[in-house]
Amino acid sequence: MKESMDIFDKIMSFPGLRMLFPFYKRHKQVLLYLFFGAVTTVISIGVFSLLNIALGVNEHIANLTSWVLAVLVAFLTNRTMVFETETNSAGAFLAQMITFYAGRVATLLVEELIIFVFITTLKFDSFTVKLVAQIIIIILNYVISKLFVFKKPTK
């Protein structure tokens, strides 16, 4: 039986991109994680910038608000598109969601510490600090998601 192609497989099979298809297939999970990580980062930085820079909202409130929206997008895309995990019950789904959010809370605390040190205390540029913090957080979140949240069951 031929494996069904998702939207990303179809895009990568376009002429011009077809030569990259073997690399894409080998590294699909990481590439999709980076893609959706970028989408999540744009949402996080966009909401943060709108609230903090444009509207003058406190950097911690702006960061928490941007985090809530970004984590919602991350859970939905990671679960369905990146790690392609299924759960067989509402309880298993809830456990997966709780583990996901717990991991994100841990990295939120790391991000808040970075913001406190570099924006609040040292008065660095808030946009630059947020951008660098997001890179660190994307890496940490991938490791947590891969190892703890969306791990494939052992046989």
DSSP per-residue string spanning 128-143: HHHHHHHHHHHHHHHH
The predicted pLDDT at position 12 comes to 86
Q: Is residue 109 part of a domain?
A: yes
For residue 120, being part of any structural domain is answered with yes
**pTM exceeds cut of 0.85:** no
In a domain, residue 115? The reply is yes
Token pair recorded at residue 29: 């999970």
Q: Which residue has tokens 């893609």?
A: 35
**142 within domain boundaries:** yes
Low-confidence ranges of the chain (pLDDT < 50): 1
155 inside domain: no
Amino acid 1: pLDDT = 42
**Is 1 inside any structural domain?**
no
* CB environment 60-86: b (16+ within 10 A), e (fewer): eebbebbbeebbeebbebbbebbbebe
77: containing domain: 7-149
CB atoms within 10 A of CB 96: 18
- The confidence score (pLDDT) of residue 17 equals 86
Does residue 87 lie within any of the structural domains? yes
Identify whether 2 is part of a domain.
no
Number of domains, the chain: 1
